[in-house]
Each structure stands twice: as C-alpha cells, then as structure tokens.
Structure 1
Amino acid sequence: MNRMTTQEVEKYMNANNKVSIIDVRETEEVRAGKIPGAVNIPLSLLEFRLQDIDKSKEHVLVCRSGNRSGMAAQLLQSRGYNVINMDGGMLDWDGPTE
C-alpha cells in the first residue's frame, strides 16, 4: 500500500490541484473539519459506494489517525483502485480545513 505523511499530502495537493481526497471518517467527525475538497465516504459505507469512486484516478484516503483509511486503502486496492493512505490522519494534519 502506498503511504504519505500529512506533510507530503499537503505538498502533493499544492503541486496538483486535482487530487482526489476521500475522508472515511463518520459524518459527525467530518463536521469538525476536513481537508478542503475532500469527499466524505464513511468506511462503513465504502463498499456500497464503490460506483462513486473513479477508478481511473489516484485517491488519497484520510481518517482521524490513519487506521481506518489504511483499512479503506486495502479494500480499494484489492478492487483495483490506485490509492494512498495518509499516515497520521487528521490528528497530524496542519494544513487548511473547511
């Protein structure tokens, strides 16, 4: 599984404004703030929302600490998606939020 630190993700986003960010936290958690432009698909619904995820793109997966996004990355990767897990999650994120 590909991984990036929060700092690497922020640099990647700054260099590529079309980065797909999928936040797999629950909706209540996302209300506290998310990475700008991130799409919220809770881990509990991910398998049911695969049709909403473009298989031709690379996706950065985010959660609170990096554990749930790691599980999401494994699931998506096993289904042929190109994914990156953001290690440290939103706990380590120092970039902007919305």
Structure 2
Amino acid sequence: MSDQVKEITPEELLQKLEAEEPVQVIDVREVDEWNAGHIKQAKLIPLGFLPQRVDELDKSTPVVMVCRSGARSHHATEYLQNLGFDVANMVGGMLAWPGEKEES
C-alpha cells in the first residue's frame, strides 16, 4: 500500500462522530457484510459501485472510507483522492472499530 493515502484511526473517527463533526463515512463493503454490522452514521456504497455513485458525495465535507480490514477502502481512498476529495482511509477497517455497530 502506498504512503500517499491519508489515514485515520478508528478511534479518531469515533471521536469525530461523537463530537458531531461534519464527516461522510462511506462503507465500501458488500451488502451482506454491511448487514452483519456497520457504523450507524455510515452510508453503504460497495466498492464496485463507487465510480457510478461518486456524485452522491459532497466534496466540501471530509470523507472517511471504511471496509472490513482496510484494503478495499484504501483503494477507494486513492480513487476519491485523485478526484480531489478530502478523504481518509480508516485503518484496520471494521475489524478494528471500537464503537457500536448497527445491524440491518
């Protein structure tokens, strides 16, 4: 993985959400993974659909990409970064998430 991608720890993201800071949390996992447990404030956009759905994101609000372990979200972060988004990858993914998980 390259060093060019901005990263955020799960704890840092949890602090931002608890402080109600403006941030878009995008989960790029598949639907079945999402249903098993996700961050309450997150929005599901599976990685394969990101190019078609990128217009759903607000370029003026920071974005945090999330997946299971951090690999898919790393690729998504690179993609959005190249489009000019203020975006960070949550390292460790949902495996490292210390907060509550919501099931669908």
Query: What TM-score bracket applies, with the shorter chain setting the length?
Result: over 0.9
The CA distance in 1 between the partners of 2:86 and 2:22, in whole Å, is 15
Aligned length: 98
Matched, 1:49 2:41: no
**Cα RMSD, aligned residues only:** 1.0
TM-score normalised by structure 1 residue count: 0.94
Mapping of 1:56-75 within 5 angstroms?
Answer: 56-75=60-79
TM-score normalised by structure 2 residue count: 0.89
The CA distance in 2 between the partners of 1:58 and 1:19, in whole Å, is 5
Does the 8 Å contact 2:29/2:44 carry over to 1? Answer: yes
The CA distance in 2 between the partners of 1:60 and 1:85, in whole Å, is 6
Gaps of at least 5 residues in structure 2 are none
Instruction: Give the superposition deviation at 1:8.
Output: 1.3
Mapping of 1:1-98 within 5 angstroms?
Answer: 1-98=5-102
Runs of 4+ aligned structure 1 residues displaced above 4 Å come to none
Q: Secondary structure at the match of 1:84?
A: strand
Instruction: Give the superposition deviation at 1:17.
Output: 4.4
